[in-house]
């Protein structure tokens, strides 16, 4: 069993319920990972993912081995059939097979580089590790998705939602740098498995990949979208059509108290790290309706659920 | 309970005695940290602190999770109310709250930058983590103090002192680069809790913060200070009044055998790393009166005592 | 007991047999390393060594503490008697003694810099740590040797060889960058302990250190060497006589299927990382006679055997 995307969740309600069970007593499966290791391979920076995945592993008795590929290992080649006479020292074919011999599970973080759309869409790093590894692979954010984040978000929604079909808004918000689409993509995919009135709002030109958004309603009018919302999920991303570009700063898209007042006393969500007073005002982020800290907390239980399921499958 | 400075020690004699008890049988509290984690956050280089704190945690059954903030995480913002549209990706408010959910204790190393006296004196990194974290904080050297080092020094003094009130000299020594005041500060504060004839000696212009030295005798005459001394503690620091400056090289302040002969067969102490033949001559450092290796050894037991007390408080 | 070079192996057949026993049940000595730590000190990049040595330690119940000296610690001085007023902050004398107090075993990776032959031949980092440390030292690749790799290779040879005295060829292969001699050196030394017809082949000018090759047959004719070979061990190295130079690219020395057909259906070996279609063609590396993945697997058992023997000696 791999956990590469939201598509690997067979039943979201079951997963969420089980994660909430784990959260009540995180050490109940402590023997499951005994004498096993998980390799956490980082090609990019990480705080929540780095620490929560280690914590989740430890709760399962699984030993985490962290490796920062960017400065601790060798530059990897991903193309097939190349003459490797340039900067890359090792091919993913060997790296993935070899690491599979030392680690019982491999988790990988490799962001979109936002230079080459086709390459990013291919999830080169994640997919090649998956292809050549002989052990389960966990996506700790790839160029296309961040399904551990989306699973933590689903847990958080379940904990704070009291409606049958709440109105949930994914709102683009401004950011000075070009950011990947992974978090937004996985959130959208996760929402498609939820009973909810789900709306995406962003300025023109920031449409996400239509193969992911499918028929999700999209509006360019943020205030319209916020009306009656029960949850506001903020996130920046760069343009998908004009790939990887920051089209304009759109400071008026920042989420502040005034906009939140348009909602049905909505909860505020963000995956973190968040730029204060750029994405969201201090007032909203510090407010009692902000769920961002609990979302981060649920990263542990999302990871623990995924690792538990992988370890259990491995036993069969 | 936090361990931020020497002021967090309620009774130095009790702490030293307990640390010496722990040293005799370091594994006697092995169950205390079971299923708990300590996050070691490094904003700067570290050898002794990095390894001894991990060793101390392991002796207590506590799992260390190391994170180098400088290259593994996100650049942190510490100012309140800023518009975060520049280089900083995450505010300490979120970082501290989030890490508190994965780690039962957070230990932090963040040196003085020696650019902005007021900012350094505020211990921006340490104090903000303390403010926003929901778990105990341990200072692994802040811009102002290094209380784990001073506690290890107190243990070492207790082990090697046989007098009621030994003469102990903190001597400035030359160094090519501008160094922080943290080690000297905490040593001075720790000495103020000791029965001792304590003297500081340094060239004019290298006065430490008077709010720390208080009424400790200071002399500009190193040879005078060394007379009859039982312990010489060497350390370089940059100017405090002309903040962060190296005023002159003062090579004649290096501690050599000739100077040590002025003492009462004094023991030599230094926190390490030490530049040989700049701070101290090979002869003195290699000599049988040098305690530097034992000081480093006691870093484990100082850290273990602090972590033990924190874990015990946590149980109440 | 240290493991610095192949010379520390008292009986290669015994070691290989014991490693193969360990491989059958890697957890049978799980209690041996309880409450002990191994410090893994990296002065250079590492994937296999980094992960397999951690896995080996964990299998023995020994806790690995990883430290990247290049960016986490202090720049070390290795010369005796220097005035340390330049870039180096700490002398190996202190570093080695201090780390010995936190770690029960110290393992070190420090590559040849290929600038100063005499300094590289002195194994400055490894030998100085060995001199000043008070605990056993393990070589995770020094400027001169890589005995953990050679031990893994010996295990792999034992597993795949069925002849009394197989023909084994160490073949130089091209590479764009100047590489150290460590892997080739240790392989040659290990081969000198084997029953085998051992031949080295390389272009003129790439002679290894004659003090290591001794009377091993060397031929400049790669095709001649390959005839009837049972094992081809490929590796690049820079010139030893014209120290650290890449003399020419010699692309015709790449190992491809056509050359492998000259052999006695030989197995192909390489220590990895390997540059595809530079050192060896895709066809050979992907082929069923390639042992490179199993060599990497055996790194765990080579390290585990060495650590087991060290831990057992430590008990006496």
pLDDT digits (tens, 9 = 90+) for B248-286: 878 999 999 999 999 999 999 999 999 999 999 999 999
| CB of A208 closer than 8 Å to CB of A200 | yes
Question: Of all residues in chain A, what percent carry a pLDDT higher than 70?
Answer: 99
Contacts of C among chains (3+ CB pairs under 8 A): A, B
Q: Which of C68, C176, C297 sits opposite A101 (nearest CB)?
A: C297
Which chain B residues are Cβ-neighbours of A281 within 8 angstroms? none
Q: Do A276 and B73 touch (CB under 8 A)?
A: no
The residue written with tokens 């005002």 in the block is A281
* Cross-chain residue pair C296–A77, CB shorter than 8 Å: no
Contact between residue C32 and residue C56 where contact means Cβ atoms under 8 Å apart: no
Q: How far is A56 from chain C (nearest CA, A)?
A: 19
Chain A residues near residue C55 by CB distance under 8 angstroms: 37, 65, 102-103
* Domain count across chain A: 2
Choosing among A46, A61, A276, A297, which should be mutated to test the B contact, i.e. which has the most B CBs within 10 A?
A: A276
A309 marked as part of a ligand binding site:
no
> Does A273 contact B at CB distance below 8 Å?
yes
Q: What is the mean pLDDT of chain B?
A: 97
Q: Is C47 annotated as a binding residue?
A: yes
Provide the 10 A C-beta neighbour count for residue C23.
Answer: 17
Q: Are residues C256 and C123 in the same domain?
A: no
By residue range, what is the domain housing residue A196?
A: 147-295
Please state, rounded to an integer, the average pLDDT across all residues of chain A. Answer: 97
Question: Are residues B180 and B154 located together in one domain of the fold?
Answer: yes
**Do C84 and B48 count as a contact with CB atoms less than 8 A apart?**
no
The pLDDT assigned to A204 comes to 97
My answer on whether C13 and C103 are in the same domain is yes
Query: With the C-alpha atoms ordered C19, C24, C28, C34, is the resulting torsion angle positive or negative?
Result: positive
Which residues in chain B have their CB less than 8 angstroms from residue A68's CB? Answer: 71-72
Give tens-digit pLDDT for B15-52.
999 999 999 999 999 999 999 999 999 999 999 999 99
Cross-chain Cβ contact A176/B86 below 8 Å = yes
Amino acid B316: pLDDT: 46
User: pLDDT digits over A109-133, tens only?
Assistant: 999 999 999 999 999 999 999 999 9
Q: How many CA atoms lie within 13 A of A163 on its CB side?
A: 14
Q: Do B65 and A54 touch (CB under 8 A)?
A: yes
How far apart are alpha carbons B307 and A54 in whole angstroms?
21
Residue A315 has a pLDDT of 53
Residue A1 lies in a domain: no
In a domain, residue C1? The reply is: no
Whether residue A179 lies inside any domain: the answer is yes
The reply to whether C276 and C306 lie within a common domain is: no
pLDDT greater than 80 at residue A263 = yes
Q: Directed axis angle between helix B48-59 and helix C92-102, to 10°? A: 10
Q: Would you call A102 and C300 a contact, using CB atoms and an 8 Å cutoff?
A: yes
Q: What are phi and psi of A114, to 5 degrees?
A: 60, 25
Ligand-binding site membership of A238 (annotated): no
In this structure, the answer to whether residues C250 and C165 fall within a common structural domain is yes
With the CA atoms of B269, B26, C138 and C50 taken in that order, what torsion angle do they form, in degrees rounded to the nearest 10?
Answer: -110
| Whether residues B306 and B280 fall in one domain | no
Query: Above 50 in pLDDT, residue B309?
Result: yes
Q: Which other chains touch chain B, taking contact as 3+ CB pairs less than 8 Å apart?
A: A, C
Closest CB to B272 among C77, C83, C98 = C98
Which of A68, A101, A103 should we substitute to test contact with C (largest number of C Cβ atoms within 10 Å)?
Answer: A101
Mutate to test the interface with C, among A62, A93, A98 (most CBs of C within 10 A): A98
Would you put residue C81 in left (φ > 0), alpha (ψ -120 to 50) or beta? left
On whether residue A196 sits in a domain, the answer given is: yes
Q: Are residues A286 and A307 in the same domain?
A: no
The beta-carbon neighbor of A293 closest among B72, B77, B98 is B98
Confidence of residue B70 (pLDDT cuts 50, 70, 90): confident
Inter-chain contact B68–C63, Cβ cutoff 8 Å? Answer: no
A271 among the known binding-site residues? yes
Which pLDDT value is given to residue B315? 53
Write out residues 3-42 of A within 8 Å (CB-CB) of C: 35, 37, 39
Identify whether B148 is preceded by a cis peptide bond (ω within 30 of 0): no
Beta bridge partners of A168: A198, A231
Q: What is the pLDDT of residue C70?
A: 83
List CB contacts (< 8 A) between B54 and chain C: 37, 65, 102
Q: Is residue B271 part of a domain?
A: yes
Given a cut of 80, whether residue B145 has pLDDT beyond it is: yes
Q: Give tens-digit pLDDT for B186-238.
A: 999 999 999 999 999 999 999 999 999 999 999 999 999 999 999 999 999 99
Decide if A286 is inside a domain.
yes
Co-location of C112 and C129 in the same domain: yes
pLDDT of res. A248: 85
Cα of B93 to nearest chain A Cα, Å:
9
Please say if the pLDDT value at position A71 is more than 90: no
Kindly list the residues from chain B whose CB atom is less than 8 angstroms away from the CB atom of residue A276.
Answer: 77, 82-84, 91
Q: Calculate how close chain A gets to B116, using CA atoms only, in Å.
A: 24
The span from the CA of C294 to the CA of C280, in Å, is 17
What is the interface size between A and B, counted as CB pairs within 8 Å? 86
CA distance B42 to B126: 11
- Assigned token pair, A164: 């049958």
pLDDT at residue A316, rounded to an integer = 46
Q: Give how far B39 is from chain A: nearest CA, Å.
A: 9
The answer on A116 and A14 residing in a single domain is yes
Q: Point out the residue among C72, C82, C98 whose CB comes nearest to the CB of B46.
A: C72
pLDDT (tens place) for every residue of chain C, 316 residues total: 999 999 999 999 999 999 999 999 999 999 999 999 999 999 999 999 999 999 999 999 999 999 999 889 999 999 999 999 999 999 999 999 999 999 999 999 999 999 999 999 999 999 999 999 999 999 999 999 999 999 999 999 999 999 999 999 999 999 999 999 999 999 999 999 999 999 999 999 999 999 999 999 999 999 999 999 999 999 999 999 999 999 987 899 999 999 999 999 999 999 999 999 999 999 999 999 999 999 999 999 999 999 999 999 975 4
Same-domain pairing of B198 and B61: no
Whether residue B275 lies within 8 A of chain C, CB to CB, comes out as: yes
Cβ of B52 under 8 Å from any chain C Cβ?
A: yes
CB contact under 8 A, B50 and C72: yes
Q: Look up the CATH number of the domain holding residue A23.
A: 3.40.50.1370
User: Is A60 labelled as part of a ligand binding site?
Assistant: no
- Give the pair of three-digit tokens for residue C40: 């893994």
For residues B170 and B235, is the Cβ–Cβ distance under 8 A?
Answer: yes
Whether B1 is covered by a domain: the verdict is no
Q: Where are the alpha helices (DSSP H) in chain B?
A: 12-24, 48-59, 69-72, 92-102, 117-121, 124-132, 147-160, 182-191, 210-213, 222-226, 257-260, 282-286, 292-315
Residues in contact with A210: Cβ distance below 8 Å, sequence separation at least 6, in sequence order: none
Asked if the C-beta of C274 comes within 8 angstroms of chain A's C-beta atoms, the answer is yes
Residues of chain B with pLDDT > 90, as a percent, come to 97
Q: Which among C47, C111, C269 is the top mutation candidate for probing chain A, defined by the most A β-carbons within 10 Å of its own β-carbon?
A: C47
Minimum distance, in Å, between the CA of residue B296 and any CA atom of chain C: 6
One domain, residues B92 and B54: yes
Clarify whether residues A127 and A168 are in a common domain.
Answer: no
B72 vs A contacts (CB less than 8 Å): 42, 45-46, 50, 68
B 57-96: CB under 8 A from C: 58-59, 68, 71
| CA distances (Å), origin A152, targets A19, A293, B97 | 9, 11, 17
Q: Is B219 annotated in some ligand binding site? A: no
Give me the mean pLDDT over the B162-180 stretch: 97
C50 CB within 8 Å of a chain A CB: yes
Q: How far is B143 from chain A (nearest CA, A)?
A: 23
The CA distance from A140 to the nearest CA of chain C, in Å, is 19
Partners of B286 on chain C (C-beta within 8 Å) are: 93
What value does the mean pLDDT take over residues B92-101?
98
The answer to whether residue B76 sits within a structural domain is yes
Top residue of C42, C51, C177 to mutate, by most chain A CBs within 10 Å, is C51
A52: closest CA of chain B, how far (Å)? 6
Q: Are A276 and B91 in contact (CB under 8 A)?
A: yes
Choosing among B48, B58, B64, B299, which should be mutated to test the C contact, i.e. which has the most C CBs within 10 A? B48
């Amino acid at each position: 069993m791999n956990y590469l995307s939201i598509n690997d969740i067979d039943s979201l309600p079951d997963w969420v319920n089980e994660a909430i069970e784990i959260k009540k007593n995180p050490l109940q499966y402590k023997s499951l990972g005994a004498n096993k290791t998980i390799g956490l391979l980082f090609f990019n920076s990480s705080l929540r993912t780095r620490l929560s995945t280690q914590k989740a592993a430890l709760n399962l008795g699984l030993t985490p081995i962290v490796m920062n590929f960017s400065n601790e290992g060798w530059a990897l080649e991903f193309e097939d059939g190349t003459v490797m006479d340039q900067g890359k020292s090792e091919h993913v074919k060997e790296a993935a097979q070899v690491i599979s011999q030392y680690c019982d599970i491999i988790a990988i973080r490799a962001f979109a580089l936002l230079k080459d759309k086709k390459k990013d869409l291919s999830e080169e790093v994640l997919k090649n590790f998956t292809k050549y590894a002989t052990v389960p692979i966990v996506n700790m954010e790839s160029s296309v998705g961040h399904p551990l984040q989306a699973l933590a978000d689903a847990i958080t929604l379940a904990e704070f939602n009291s409606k049958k079909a709440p109105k949930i808004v994914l709102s683009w918000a401004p950011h000075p740098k070009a950011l990947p689409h992974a978090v937004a993509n996985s959130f959208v995919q996760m929402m498609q498995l939820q009973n909810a009135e789900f709306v995406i709002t962003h300025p023109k030109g920031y449409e996400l990949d239509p193969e992911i958004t499918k028929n999700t309603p999209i509006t360019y009018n943020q205030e319209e979208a916020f009306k009656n919302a029960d949850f506001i999920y903020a996130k920046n991303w760069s343009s998908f059509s004009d790939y990887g570009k920051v089209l304009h700063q759109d400071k008026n898209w920042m989420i502040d108290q005034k906009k939140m007042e348009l909602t049905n006393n909505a909860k505020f969500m963000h995956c973190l790290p968040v730029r204060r007073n750029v994405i969201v005002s201090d007032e909203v982020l510090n407010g009692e309706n902000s769920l961002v800290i609990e979302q981060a907390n649920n990263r542990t239980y999302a990871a623990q659920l995924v690792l538990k399921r992988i370890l259990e499958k491995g036993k069969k």
